[in-house]
Amino acid sequence: MTTEDISPRYLDLDLWTNIEALRALYEAQLAAVAAVGPALPAIAAAVDQAVARLRKGGRLIYVGAGTSGRIGVQDGAELAPTFDWPRDKLVFAVAGGEAALLQAVEGAEDSRAGGAQRMAEISAGDHDVVIGLAASGDTPFTVSALEAARARGALTVGIANNPGSPLLETSDHPLLIETGAEAIAGSTRLKAGTAQKVALNLFSTLTMLRLGKVYRGLMVHMRPVNEKLRRRSVQIVSSVAGVSDAAAAAALAKSDGDVKHAALIALGADPAAAPYLLDKHAGNLRAAIAEIASRA
C-alpha cells in the first residue's frame, strides 16, 4: 500500500529548517494536485453517468471515514449555497456519524455492517450517485457501503489513492489518484487528502455545470442567503442581461431572488413566463436566452 510507505525523501524531515521543511511539504502538495491529471478522463465519464441519474431526481451520497469522510462533507456542504443544490438531495454517510466529523470514533471505519446498514437506512436506489472516498481503498465501512449501494442499483464512484484496491474494484467508476508515499508515512491528510479534495472539486463542479447551474462562468443558480451573495446576484444579473444594477435589482425583486429568472426578466421576459421558459429548456439559461433573442 503506497500511501503507507516510508519515503527516503523525508527521513530527516524533523532536522530541516522551517523553510526547508515547508518547501518539501509544498512540493509534495503540488505533486498531489498533478496526480489528479491522469484521472480526468475517468472523472469525465463518471460525471456523464451521474448527471443522467441526478436529472431523474437522484441524490448525491458521500461515503467515507476519518479524513476522507470529512473531505466528502466539505465538498457536499458547499453545493447548496453555490449551486442551490437541494438539501434533500444530499446525504452523508460518515463512519461514526456526525460525531466523527470533529473527533475520531474508535472502530467505526472497520465496521462493514455499518456501511451496508447506512445504505439501507437511506434507501440508496437506482437514481442515486454514491461517492466513496478512502485513501487506502480498503476501508471496510466505505467498501461495504459501495457494495451495498451498487447492489441496490445506485451508481457508484470510488476515489482511492492505491491501485488495485477493493474500493476501486467495487465501483462502477473507479477513480485512482496515485499519490504515493506521504511526507509523514501514513498521514493521508496530506497528499492523499489534497488529491481527493481536488478530484471532488472537479467532479461536483462539472456535474453542476452539466446540470445547467453555471452560465458564462457565473453562479447563476446560487442561493442569495446573505448580503454578500445578494450583492453578487445583482452583479450576475447585470452582467448576463447587460443592464444597470438598479434594473438587475428590480428584476430580482420580481423573481423572488431567483437569479436565472431575474436574468430572463431583465432581458424582456414576462415575470410570470420566465419560470416556464426556463423549465422548457431543462434549466439551461443559455438556451432560454437564445429563445428570447430569436423572438426579438
Q: Which residues are known catalytic residues? A: 78, 109
Give the span between the Cα atoms of 196 and 137, in whole angstroms: 12
SS3 1: coil
Helix 259-266 to helix 227-241 angle, to the nearest 10 degrees?
40
DSSP 136: S
- Tell the burial category of 199 from Cβ atoms under 10 Å away from its Cβ (0-12, 13-18, 19+): buried
Measured CA distances, 37 to 145, 178, 181, 275 (Å): 27, 10, 18, 39
> Helices H, strands E: what count in the chain?
13, 5
Cβ burial 211-222 (10 Å sphere, 16+ → b, else e): bbbbbeebbbbb
**Cell numbers at 8, concatenated:** 527516503
Measured from the Cβ of residue 253, the count of other Cβ atoms closer than 10 Å reads 12
- The answer to whether residues 146 and 133 touch, using CB atoms and an 8 Å cutoff, is no
Task: Name the helix (H) or strand (E) containing 63.
Answer: strand 60-64
As a whole number of Å, the end-to-end CA separation of the chain is 62
3-class secondary structure, 108: helix
How far is the C-alpha of 279 from the C-alpha of 86, rounded, in Å? Answer: 17
Q: What is the DSSP letter of 296?
A: -
Element (H, E) at 21: helix 18-34
